[in-house]
Amino acid sequence: MNDAIVLPIVLLVAVGVRHVAAAGSGCRSTSLIASAVVTLYAYPLVGSWGRAPGGVQPSPMEHAHGLAAVLCAVWLVCGVLALWSWRRAHSASA
């Protein structure tokens, strides 16, 4: 897909997620947007499009596991930041 098509779609989805998650924390919407961008970027690699003809893969790395690891890291960092923000807000009010 062309970037001129993907970028507006990702931005529209991001705006929609932002409006839906407006009542929630900013970390949740940030992690959803980051997850969408990473997944769209890695989709051709996770699918069979990144393979060479004949089924030989040029890289020994398993792309699906790499995508899962990156998504876990994104959600872990955003969760830690949300917890830190929540603790900071509650300690300031006490």
What pLDDT is attached to residue 32?
Answer: 82
In this prediction, residue 71 has a pLDDT band, given cuts at 50, 70 and 90, of very high
Mean per-residue pLDDT, 69-90? 85
Q: How far apart are CA 7 and CA 73, in angstroms?
A: 23
pTM for this predicted structure: 0.62
What pLDDT is attached to residue 4?
Answer: 75
What pLDDT is attached to residue 20?
Answer: 60
Give me the chain's average pLDDT, please. Answer: 76
